């Protein structure tokens, strides 16, 4: 179980959150890429090893979006907006 630090609610169980995905490149304009590039963008999720910046929605809490850095090898949160609680 991960404890995700919410700047409003403190550390909360990951079951209260919905994963919003890695923070990454902006969505390409579908009119400026070919079909293969568009399909790859829609279907292939990056899966890097190490620290990744992620967005999580506190759906069963304050309904705010939280951005964290999580190490994908260990699931440890290596940096958080407010880790005081």
pLDDT attached to residue 37? 92
Residues 85 and 69: their CA atoms lie apart, in Å, by 17
The tens place of each residue's pLDDT in the chain, 85 residues long, gives 899 999 999 999 999 999 998 888 688 898 999 999 999 888 988 788 999 999 999 999 999 999 999 999 999 999 755 544 4
Q: What angle do CA 20, 71, 9 make, to 5 degrees?
A: 55
Domains assigned to the chain: 3-79 (3.30.2270.10)
Strand order in the sheet with 77-79: 18-22, 51-57, 65-71, 77-79
In this prediction the pTM is 0.75
State the residue for tokens 């079951």.
15
SS3 38: helix
């Amino acid at each position: 179980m991960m404890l995700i630090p919410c700047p409003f609610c403190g550390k909360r169980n990951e079951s209260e959150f919905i994963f919003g995905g890695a923070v990454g490149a902006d969505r390409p304009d579908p009119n400026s890429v070919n079909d293969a590039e568009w399909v790859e963008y829609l279907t292939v999720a990056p899966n890097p090893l190490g620290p990744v910046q992620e967005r999580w929605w506190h759906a069963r809490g304050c309904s705010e979006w939280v951005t964290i850095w999580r190490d994908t090898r260990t699931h440890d949160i290596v940096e958080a907006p407010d880790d005081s609680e």
